[in-house]
Chain A
Amino acid sequence: MPVTRSYAVTASSIRVMPRATGGAGRKGKALPDQNLEIDKISKRYGDVVALREMSFEVRAGELFGFVGSNGAGKTTTMRIALGVLSSDSGEVRFGGEPVTLETRRHIGYMPEERGLYPKMKVGEQLSYLARLHGLSPRAAAKSSDEWTERLGVEAKRNDEVEKLSLGNQQRVQLAAALVHDPRILVLDEPFSGLDPVAVDVMSQVLKEKAAEGVPVVFSSHQLDLVERLCDRIGIVRSGQMVTSGTVAELSVDSAVRLLVHAPDAPRGWADGLAGVTVLRHENGRTELELGAGTDDQAVLKAALATGPVHEFARSRTSLTDLFRNVVTEPGE
């Protein structure tokens, strides 16, 4: 039985976040609307098909969540977008043009397997990476200073990376993806291994980059995080994009769910209601699924008839449920 999660409850705790200074729009330049398009890319490793005509689009200024089981092809897709791996067929485009090595220098990338030079100092390392992406020495040093400050590791600039705590190494890794002021962000599991504070910092930075007009795509297994952060979501299975869109779009076909907290309600209070399926009843909390066209107000009346109602919430299907439905479809 899928677990329903109230959309209202999750959203309330996160959406409001203090806006840090210095990050967004610091260059003051407006980026044109340029989308990142992944068009029918396929990849085989010997007899194993890793990607089968994988296609999706990340629009300028949008946060795109890339979800799928392990081995579904997320990392392979990202590596191909970055040019670290070549595809057998298909094309990656940015702003309508095929992505070249030069375009790739404007992508901020966080590989799934994190990596920096362990014995190089944080500041020097970030400047070096910025210069490899085409920044001048001065701009690279400035950007390195800005991002270490923005991500709260300015005190570690002269420390070797290997001497940093894992959390701080992750922050430096994010700085490495951002230090060259990228026009596209591709992040493989950026939230894995982060503490809650770092998750907030990371979320904030990604939102700011998107607000600058940068297409941002990231993969994650933390579906609640993806659900509340992303504008659109793509679910992959066995190397193919199964479905993509906003959470609302994806769940349009799904039944409406209700969570009712009526402490005095006896077990089976809702059984007689037309179009209603009881999913769960525990400690006075009942989860219901409503068939198409069912009136939820009739349910509320029935609940009130049992006594007080403390909570009556309508929820859309959560991403977790969608994901389960999609990835466990027959034929797997």
Chain B
Amino acid sequence: MSEVYVYALLGDAPAPDAGAGLCEEPLRVVRVGDLLVAVGEMAEPPAVSEATLRAHDAVVRRLADAVDAILPVRFGSLLSESSLADVLRARARELSEALALVAGREQMTLRVLGDAPASVARAADAPGDAGPGARYLAARRAEWRRAREAPELAPLRPLLDGLVRAERVTRHDAPPLLASVYHLIDRGAAAAYRAAVEGSGPCAVRVVATGPWPPYAFAPEALG
């Protein structure tokens, strides 16, 4: 049975001629419930190379230009159409919510560079008389939160607040790269966003902005 290579989930259908995929295969749009998915027929997954990665990205960008909402799918996703339908049905609700979030928006990426992670002094969440279980859970919660926060950006926040619609943070154990921060902004706001980042004045960390990108980082978290 033939398999399909999956490029993206779409909020609406692009023009009938969606063009070709990364192997020059014709693109088509599959409907699963309320979700629309851009796919191409392929016998084998593409090898990972600069050419195939850039070709996949080019297809996603072209689709992004043709629709209001797009959720890119991870590179190398080849599966049967029935398996795809099963996966999407199981996650229909969170995927629809994610599509609503990215509608009319795109992604900017900030790389935060600095000497050492900012000290994140934080009062304990658990009250002093909490038992060991509660203290453990509070510590785990704090750890989880810290992994998704970028306190280094505090000086930038006032400038970015009006532009950023959603944020994802990944902290890195790769100094001087301290964190990657992915911001969802309205389409067309990239120039204002860059100006805000560049105009932020002296800061304890350096930030490098790239984009706009299709909203790759705003896919719902992978299952399991």
- The answer to whether A and B assemble together is no
B residues contacting A by CB (< 8 A) are none
